[in-house]
Amino acid sequence: MIVGKFGYHGLTFGVVNGVESVIRSPGINNAADEIPAWEICVISATKQSRDPFSKGSDSGSALWDLTGRVMGMMTGGLGDSETSVVDTTYVNSIERILQDLEDSGIKATLA
C-alpha cells in the first residue's frame, strides 16, 4: 500500500512494510511499566537510495493513504540519510490512538 505524509521535511511517499510489535518504555526504569505497541512500518517509495520516507523532526506527522484516509501518526524512525543503511518509519495506527484517548476519558473523532 502506498502512503504519504507531509511533515517538517516536506511531502514524501512510502510503502507499508508490515506491522511490528515493539516495547515502549515511558521513561521509567521498571520492566512492569513497559508497554507493548503495534506499529505500522513504512519504507520510502522513491527509487532514490538517499531519500528516506522520514527524517528527524517529522514525528507527529499524519500518515494517509492515497484516498486521503488518515491511517496514523508518525512516532519515530530508523535510518541515516547519509548512508541509507536503514529506512524504516514507525507509525501508530489512528484506531489505537483514538482508543487510547477514549480509554483516558477523551472522546475524539476525525472530521
Query: How many angstroms separate the CA atoms of 29 and 74, rounded?
Result: 24
Report residue 95: phi and psi, to 5°: -60, -45
- The pLDDT assigned to 45 comes to 84
- The pLDDT assigned to 24 comes to 66
Say if domain 2-103 classifies as CATH 1.10.10.10.
no
Residuewise pLDDT in 10s, the chain (111 residues): 899 999 998 999 999 987 776 676 666 566 566 766 778 889 888 766 567 888 888 999 999 999 999 999 998 887 665 665 667 899 999 988 898 889 889 988 877
Query: How many angstroms separate the CA atoms of 89 and 109, rounded?
Result: 25
Q: What residue ranges do the domains of the chain occupy?
A: 2-103
- The pLDDT assigned to 43 comes to 87
- The pLDDT assigned to 73 comes to 95
- The pLDDT assigned to 53 comes to 87
Q: Give the predicted TM-score (pTM) of the model.
A: 0.75
Query: How many angstroms separate the CA atoms of 74 and 91, rounded?
Result: 4
- Give the contacts of 111 (CB within 8 A, at least 6 positions apart): none
